[in-house]
Amino acid sequence: MVPLWFLEQPILGQSLKKQSNFVNISRWSILVLDAGIVAFSIVLAHLLRFNFEVEAVDYVHFPTGPILLLGIRILTFFLFKTYTGIIFHTGLEDAQRIFLSLMVWSLAFAIVLNPIVFWQTNHYILPYSILIIEFLVSGFLLTGYRGLVKVLYWELATPQSETKSVIVYGAGAAGVVVKNVLEKDIAASYSIAAFIDDNEQLQSKRLLGIEVYARESLSSLLKEHRPEMLIFSTMAVPADRRQSVVEVCLEHQVKVLNIPPVSQWINGELSFSQIRKVRIEDLLERDPIQLDQAEIEAQIRAKVVLITGAAGSIGSELVRQVIQYHPKKLILLDQAETPLYEIELSLRSKHQFSNFEIMLGDVRNQWSMERIFEQHQPEVIYHAAAYKHVPMMENHPSEAVLTNVWGTKVLADLAQRYNSKKFVLVSTDKAVNPSSVMGASKRIAEIYVQSLDRSLAQAKKSPKFVTTRFGNVLGSNGSVIPLFKKQIRSGGPLTITHPEMTRYFMTIPEACQLVMEAGAMGKGGEIFVFDMGKSIKILDLAKRMIRLSGLQLGKDIHITFTGLRPGEKLYEELLNQAETTLPTHHKKIMIAKVREYPFTEVAAKIDALLELIKEQNEERMVRAVKALVPEFKSQNSIYEKFDQDS
- Predicted confidence at residue 402, as pLDDT, reads 95
**Reported confidence tier of residue 23, pLDDT bands at 50, 70, 90:** very low
The alpha-carbon radius of gyration of the chain (Å, integer) is: 34
Residue that wins the pLDDT comparison between 252 and 323: 323
Cα gap 417→461, rounded to integer Å: 10
Residue 326 has pLDDT above 70, yes or no: yes
- Predicted confidence at residue 399, as pLDDT, reads 94
Among residues 360, 339, 532, the alpha carbon closest in space to that of 430 is found at: 532
Residue that wins the pLDDT comparison between 479 and 216: 216
- Predicted confidence at residue 5, as pLDDT, reads 34
Lowest-confidence region among 1-10, 127-136, 259-268, 634-643: 1-10
- Predicted confidence at residue 404, as pLDDT, reads 96
Is the separation of the CB atoms in 642 and 623 below 8 Å?
Answer: yes
Residue 529 has pLDDT above 80, yes or no: yes
Cα gap 449→442, rounded to integer Å: 11
**Where is mean pLDDT largest: 66-75, 280-289, 632-641?**
632-641
pLDDT tens track for 509-521: 888 988 998 888 8
Cα gap 538→388, rounded to integer Å: 19
Q: Before 378, cis peptide (omega within 30)? A: no
Residue that wins the pLDDT comparison between 504 and 89: 504
Average pLDDT over residues 87-92: 57
pLDDT tens track for 568-611: 878 776 655 556 777 888 888 888 888 889 999 999 999 999 88
- Maximum C-alpha span of the chain: 119
Kindly write down the DSSP assignment for every residue of 262-275, as one continuous string. Answer: GGGSBTTB--GGG-
Average pLDDT over residues 521-546: 85
pLDDT tens track for 614-638: 888 888 989 999 999 999 999 888 8
Lowest-confidence region among 28-37, 398-407, 441-450: 28-37
pLDDT tens track for 381-428: 999 999 988 999 999 999 999 999 999 999 999 999 999 999 999 999
Among residues 477, 407, 484, the alpha carbon closest in space to that of 448 is found at: 407
Average pLDDT in the chain: 81
Residue 646 has pLDDT above 80, yes or no: no
**Reported confidence tier of residue 9, pLDDT bands at 50, 70, 90:** very low
Among residues 589, 414, 461, the alpha carbon closest in space to that of 516 is found at: 589
SS3 category, 462: coil
Handedness of CA 227, 229, 233, 235 (dihedral sign): positive
| H-only helix segments in 379-429 | 390-395, 397-400, 407-417
439 exposure class (CB count in 10 Å sphere: 0-12, 13-18, 19+): buried
Kindly write down the DSSP assignment for every residue of 172-238, as one continuous string. Answer: HHHHHHHHHHHHH-SS-EEEEEEEE-S-TTTTTSEETTEEEE-GGGHHHHHHHH--SEEEE--S-S-
pLDDT tens track for 59-71: 666 777 777 777 7
Letter string b/e over residues 290-320, b meaning 16 or more CB atoms within 10 A of that residue's CB: ebeeeebbebbeebbbbbbbbbbbbbbbbbb
Residue 318 has pLDDT above 50, yes or no: yes
Average pLDDT over residues 430-449: 93
Phi, psi (degrees; rounded to nearest 5) at 113: -65, -50
Cα gap 358→331, rounded to integer Å: 6
pLDDT tens track for 151-195: 676 666 555 556 788 888 888 777 788 887 777 665 567 788 888
Among residues 498, 617, 479, 643, the alpha carbon closest in space to that of 564 is found at: 498
- Predicted confidence at residue 574, as pLDDT, reads 61
**Reported confidence tier of residue 6, pLDDT bands at 50, 70, 90:** very low
**Reported confidence tier of residue 131, pLDDT bands at 50, 70, 90:** confident
Lowest-confidence region among 222-236, 256-270, 322-336: 256-270
Among residues 273, 312, 335, 250, the alpha carbon closest in space to that of 475 is found at: 312
**Reported confidence tier of residue 1, pLDDT bands at 50, 70, 90:** very low
**Where is mean pLDDT largest: 133-147, 277-291, 363-377?**
363-377
- Using CA atoms in the order 45, 48, 49, 51, what is the torsion angle rounded to 10 degrees? 150
